[in-house]
Amino acid sequence: MADRDTRLRDLRQQLDQLDIEAQGSALTPGEAEKNRAQRDALLRDLRDGDADATTDATPTEAEAPPTLQP
């Protein structure tokens, strides 16, 4: 359980870092696409990890983080 919590915390920190990078700089279209791909992968990992703990891990639209636009 502690390993799972640590992994989820690390994934959330990585997601936050990607969001900060996207907001704080002018990304090229290629960098923005790479950022979105990494962000999507992290979100999938977070949902998969949360699914281990709950039966309904799909976030509602209100809970889902905003999509970054280039």
What's the token pair of residue 69?
């636009």
pLDDT block averages, 10 residues each, the chain of length 70: 81 83 74 84 82 54 59
- pLDDT confidence of residue 48: 83
pTM: 0.48
- pLDDT confidence of residue 44: 87
- pLDDT confidence of residue 55: 47
3-state secondary structure of 59: coil
- pLDDT confidence of residue 47: 84
**Domain coordinates in residue numbering, the chain:** 1-52
* CA distance linking residue 59 with residue 15, whole number of Å: 16
